[in-house]
């Protein structure tokens, strides 16, 4: 029988194996030990986000199962498995020292670490399907897509971070990253299953509860080389422009690396980097 414990053990075991969790072009694990959370497919927050993000674009768990697998599924029998893959201590230490572009390890974790993340989702779907449990990983589906919203800018028809939020794994920070018990420097994934699992209790009641901006924290604002984070939040257009105009050329000149490259400096050297922040004013100048 599928249980929260058996799923968590399976994911944890896979990610403890170097062959499934490495940076490929560099020596080292891609991610530290994962966090796993669960939510019900009929959790009202999925419907809330569908309405909030775009009711004609974002899909509910039930809609994903039906669109990919065919047939119909009772929402009360659907569960969502969500995970957080934290960046390694080594990658975070190196990134903390950077001011305009993260290290090559960060780039490799975005490219090859993400391959491990996607392979995890694929293997989990295969593992569940072999047990006769209908399952879908939206991130792997040909039906996964990006769109534009007048209100939110770039949006997708399934959001790993919103799923993690609904699945009890953490809340959002000022820079839009998800702050979990392992911090904000992480990547995320999920699989939707037609099987009853117990929802993880959300230890928070608001979408940004773990973020210390309300207490005066400005660490990610000061960390951003593009001025893309303000007290009002994350300016996606400025962030994208910095990736396009600066990160690519820095990676080429500094690392001789011309592959897909990303920033993410706002995820390290900040109080929420590796855990839920317990922020005090004197920490403002610490990093």
Q: Which CB atom, from 127 or from 238, has the smaller least distance to ligand SF4?
A: 238
Phi and psi at residue 188, to the nearest 5°: -135, 155
CA–CA distance, 4 with 198 (Å, rounded to integer): 7
Q: Which range, of 85-93, 167-175, 189-197, 251-259, touches ligand SF4 by CB under 6 A?
A: 167-175
Q: Which candidate, 22, 2, 139, 163, places its Cα nearest to that of 80?
A: 163
Q: Which CB atom, from 7 or from 263, has the smaller least distance to ligand SF4?
A: 263
CA–CA distance, 220 with 73 (Å, rounded to integer): 42
Residue 45: strand, helix, or coil: helix
- If one asks whether residue 186 binds ligand SF4 (CB under 6 A), the answer comes out as no
- If one asks whether residue 263 binds ligand SF4 (CB under 6 A), the answer comes out as yes
User: Total residues contacting ligand SF4 (rule CB under 6 A)?
Assistant: 25
Interface pick for ligand SF4 out of 168, 173, 183, 189 (rule CB under 6 A): 173
Q: Are 175 and 208 in contact (CB under 8 A)?
A: no
- If one asks whether residue 251 binds ligand SF4 (CB under 6 A), the answer comes out as no
To ligand SF4, the closest distance from the beta carbon of 260 in angstroms equals: 14
CA–CA distance, 259 with 280 (Å, rounded to integer): 39
To ligand SF4, the closest distance from the beta carbon of 217 in angstroms equals: 3
| Burial of 220 (C-beta count, 10 Å sphere; 0-12/13-18/19+) | buried
Q: Which range, of 5-13, 28-36, 218-226, 252-260, touches ligand SF4 by CB under 6 A?
A: 218-226
- If one asks whether residue 226 binds ligand SF4 (CB under 6 A), the answer comes out as yes
Q: How many CB atoms lie within 10 A of CB 155?
A: 17
Minimal CB distance to ligand SF4: which residue?
A: 173
Residue 240: strand, helix, or coil: helix
Q: Give the interface with ligand SF4 as residue ranges (CB under 6 A).
A: 173-175, 211-213, 217, 219-220, 223-224, 226, 228-229, 234, 239, 242, 263-266, 270-272, 277
């Amino acid at each position: 029988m599928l249980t929260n414990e058996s799923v968590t053990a399976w994911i944890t075991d896979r990610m403890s194996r170097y062959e499934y969790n490495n940076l490929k072009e560099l020596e080292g694990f891609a991610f530290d030990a994962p966090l796993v959370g669960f939510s019900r497919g009929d959790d009202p927050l999925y419907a809330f986000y569908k309405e909030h993000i775009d009711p004609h674009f974002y899909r509910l768990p039930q809609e994903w199962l039906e669109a990919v697998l065919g047939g119909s599924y009772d929402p009360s029998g659907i569960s969502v498995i969500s995970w957080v893959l934290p960046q390694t201590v080594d990658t975070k230490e190196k990134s903390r020292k950077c001011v305009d572009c993260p290290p090559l390890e960060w780039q490799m974790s975005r490219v090859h670490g993400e391959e491990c993340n996607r392979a995890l989702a694929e293997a989990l779907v295969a593992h569940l399907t072999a047990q006769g449990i209908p399952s879908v990983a939206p991130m792997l589906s040909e039906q996964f897509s990006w769109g534009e919203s007048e209100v939110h800018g770039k949006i997708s028809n399934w959001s790993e971070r919103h799923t993690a939020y609904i699945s009890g794994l953490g809340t959002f920070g000022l820079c839009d990253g998800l702050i979990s018990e392992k911090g904000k420097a992480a990547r995320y994934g999920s699989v939707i299953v037609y099987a009853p699992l117990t929802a993880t209790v959300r230890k928070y009641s608001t979408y940004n509860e773990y973020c210390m901006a309300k207490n005066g924290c400005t660490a990610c604002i000061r960390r951003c080389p593009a001025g893309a984070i303000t007290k009002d939040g994350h300016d996606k257009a400025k962030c994208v422009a910095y990736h396009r105009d600066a990160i690519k050329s820095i990676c080429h000149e500094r690392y001789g690396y011309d592959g897909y490259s990303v920033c993410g400096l706002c995820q390290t050297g900040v109080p929420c980097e590796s855990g839920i922040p317990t922020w005090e004013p004197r920490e403002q100048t610490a990093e």
